[in-house]
Amino acid sequence: MKAIVVMFDSLNRQYLPPYGAQGVHAPQFTRLAGRTATFDTCYAGSMPCIPARREMHTGRYNFLHRGWGPLEPFDDSVPEMLKAAGVHTHLATDHQHYWEDGGATYHNRFSTYEFFRGQEGDFWKGQVADPPMPADLKRLRRPAYRQDWVNRQHLTDEAAHPQTLTFDAGLEFIDTNAGSDGWLVQIETFDPHEPFFSYDRYADLYPEAYGGPHFDWPDYAQVLESRDQAAHLRRQYAALLSMCDRSLGRVLDRMDELDLWDDTLLMVVTDHGFLLGEHGWWGKNIPPWYEETIHTPLFVWDPRSRVAGERRRSLVQTIDIGPTLLEFFGVDRTPDMAGRPLRDVVARDEPVRRAGLYGGFGGHVNVTDGRYVYMRAPLTAANEPLAEYTLMPMHMMARFTPAELRSATLAEPFRFTKGVPTLRTPGTTLASPFAFGTLLFDLESDPGQQSPLVDDELEASMIGLMLELMRANDAPPEQYERLGLPVEGDADAGHLLVRRQWAQVEAARTPVRREDYPAGPLSVHAPLRDLLADDAATALLAAAAPRLLREPLRTVAGPLSLVEVAAFAVGLLPVPLLEDLSARLATLAGDEATGGEATGDDMTGEDVTGG
């Protein structure tokens, strides 16, 4: 038996023709749907990138206990389990997070692996002089931004692009081993993750008359760009997706040429989607995990049932991918795995779960039964208590600091740690999900999640499902306290949050728009660092929004205007506070600011929701 897993990153199902996309050139995804079972109700679990991959290895959720981090010593790893059972597992990837601090234990679980450099600011090519960088619309320019422009100088030829090289390597493995049995190859590209960099042959599929600034790498923030700029970015994403489509077609061609369909499992998966203007946002992580980011595409060909061209409605999740591979090769799951093999779902749409849990560390905890979605925010704006449980104290791109570890305590083992205690350290998040409030949706009547519900009976039912899954996952006690839920027993009317947090729900849905505020040297359009150079403005901000003066926010947000800060961090500068600051800054500036208006295409503030 053989298996091929093709994995993309940030694949928005709404841009795929098998899921109803119009105007997107992706014929190979259409071809794929004709050869596989297409899943209509697949949800990711632990977010974002590396937590999702930890789920693929372990077959269980991890976001309640840990943020972004390596595989733990007590974690099961499906590739390693297969390797121990005599299956050769091979990884071909350009996903640069695997060679950062927070992802460095994943690739070694495979029998063999190949890496290709150059994606999204990968610290690859060394160049002291600044590379040519066009004027563009990106506002947060961290070191990876500059590095990406260094790397692009070496990617002018599509044949040298890391996506191309990744698929070249995966196909080479298939060619080498097509006549052998007992192997798994994971061909994993970082695309179509931002930046949406591709080539003219793909951009030409989406003709436009755009003449604005360069724009292929959005910040994770509310949409402040003009309608034309937003449409241009979506075309850039579509062009990169079309490049991915061509790579997918190469795999399908090879399966045809080598007659692999008779004995080879094929799974085409992603970790999560991406907001492309929907709900007025770019990206992920900061807003709740809406359908565009968490409801993922999934295609499976199982040579045993040979189901092709059919849809599957059963609720499945990322945690099921690893157990599906184990079952295919005849390897037993471990007791710690919550995921289930998809063999019978593929064969006859037999359900494997009533509900699924998902979320990011310290964010909303979410549950869905496939129709209803419940997004529970923390009980208070403090979003506390919150703790990380780990024996691998690494963040995404850094080690835990001594300051973080000084307060660490040894925690009792969880059920899944195999009798091993862990370090408990205080957890933090970039922003509190409290600002968005608790949300409840009916996807049958509101698939775009535009009309949140207030329904006490339905909320109580969804809380019951959430508690059932949290307890099955051995959630730490801090999570129950943070969310205002009982550790034991049933929830009651006192645990309902939708009504109590409705003001936050409505406030978070009020867009930040540039043109609502006058411009001037002292205004909400001025960079924060310029305002902090003025004593009177500094005093005003210290009284009204003191967090802006604290590190690291003061440095990170220094180049941003207050309008942009409000667009990045909902709750930090809510619209009423932004309006008040605008008026008070105008008073400080006197006549210098009172007659100004925001100008330029990037200040039109047009509402761009993308549906």
So what's the pLDDT on residue 603?
29
DSSP string, 304-373: TT---SEEE-S-EEGGGHHHHHHHHTT-PPPTT------HHHHHH-----S-EEEEETTS-EEEE-SSEE
What is the arithmetic mean of pLDDT over 158-186?
A: 98
Domain contains 396: no
Element (H, E) at 204: none
Domain contains 407: no
What is the sign of the dihedral through the CA atoms of 71, 64, 396 and 276? positive
**Do 108 and 253 lie in a common domain?**
yes
So what's the pLDDT on residue 572?
87
Distance separating the N- and C-terminal Cα atoms of the chain:
43
**How many separate domains does the chain show?**
3
User: Which of 164, 124, 162 minimizes the C-alpha distance to 146?
Assistant: 124
User: Does the pLDDT of residue 129 top 50, yes or no?
Assistant: yes
Three-state DSSP at 93 gives strand
Out of 486, 507, 528, a domain closes at 507
**Do 299 and 188 lie in a common domain?**
yes
- Give the pLDDT band of residue 370 (cuts 50, 70, 90): very high
What DSSP designation does 214 have?
B
So what's the pLDDT on residue 609?
30
Domain range for 316 is 2-350
Domain contains 415: no
Q: Which residues of 164-186 are buried (b: 16+ CB within 10 A; e: fewer)?
A: bbbbbbbbebbeeebeeeebbbb
Domain contains 410: no
Of 175-184, 324-333, 353-362, 563-572, give the lowest mean pLDDT range.
563-572
Domain contains 610: no
So what's the pLDDT on residue 430?
76
Element (H, E) at 491: none
Domain contains 399: no
pLDDT 10s digits, 45-71: 999 999 999 999 999 999 999 999 999
**Do 535 and 458 lie in a common domain?**
no
So what's the pLDDT on residue 344?
98
User: Does the pLDDT of residue 597 top 90, yes or no?
Assistant: no
pLDDT 10s digits, 396-407: 999 999 999 999
**Do 97 and 160 lie in a common domain?**
yes
Alpha carbons 212 and 215: distance in angstroms, whole number: 8
Give me 203's structure tokens. Answer: 């951009």
Out of 350, 378, 409, a domain closes at 350
**Do 536 and 491 lie in a common domain?**
no
**Do 28 and 174 lie in a common domain?**
yes
pLDDT 10s digits, 376-386: 999 999 999 99
Of 238-247, 478-487, 536-545, 551-560, give the lowest mean pLDDT range.
551-560
Q: Which residues of 530-568 are buried (b: 16+ CB within 10 A; e: fewer)?
A: ebbebeebeebbeeebeebeeeebeeebeebbbbbbbbb
What is the arithmetic mean of pLDDT over 297-306?
A: 98
- Give the pLDDT band of residue 590 (cuts 50, 70, 90): confident
- What is the pLDDT of the chain when averaged over all its residues? 95
So what's the pLDDT on residue 432?
81
So what's the pLDDT on residue 553?
85
CA distances from 137 to 134, 271, 386, 525, 562 (A): 10, 27, 35, 15, 16
Alpha carbons 322 and 53: distance in angstroms, whole number: 10
Element (H, E) at 264: strand 264-270
What is the arithmetic mean of pLDDT over 89-100?
A: 97
- Give the pLDDT band of residue 111 (cuts 50, 70, 90): very high
User: Does the pLDDT of residue 355 top 50, yes or no?
Assistant: yes
Whether pTM > 0.85 for this model: the answer is yes
Of 49-58, 426-435, 559-568, give the lowest mean pLDDT range.
426-435
Out of 457, 477, 507, a domain closes at 507
Whether cis (ω within 30° of 0) applies to the bond prior to 385 is yes
Say which residue, 422 or 600, is predicted with more confidence: 422
**Do 329 and 381 lie in a common domain?**
no
Supply the CATH number for residue 253's domain. Answer: 3.40.720.10
**Do 120 and 194 lie in a common domain?**
yes
**Do 173 and 223 lie in a common domain?**
yes
Domain contains 320: yes
> Percent of the chain having pLDDT more than 90?
91
**Do 45 and 89 lie in a common domain?**
yes
Give me 434's structure tokens. Answer: 């409290």
**Do 192 and 299 lie in a common domain?**
yes
Domain contains 545: yes
Three-state DSSP at 458 gives helix
> Percent of the chain having pLDDT more than 70?
97
pLDDT 10s digits, 213-256: 999 999 999 999 999 999 999 999 999 999 999 999 999 999 99
**Do 492 and 584 lie in a common domain?**
no
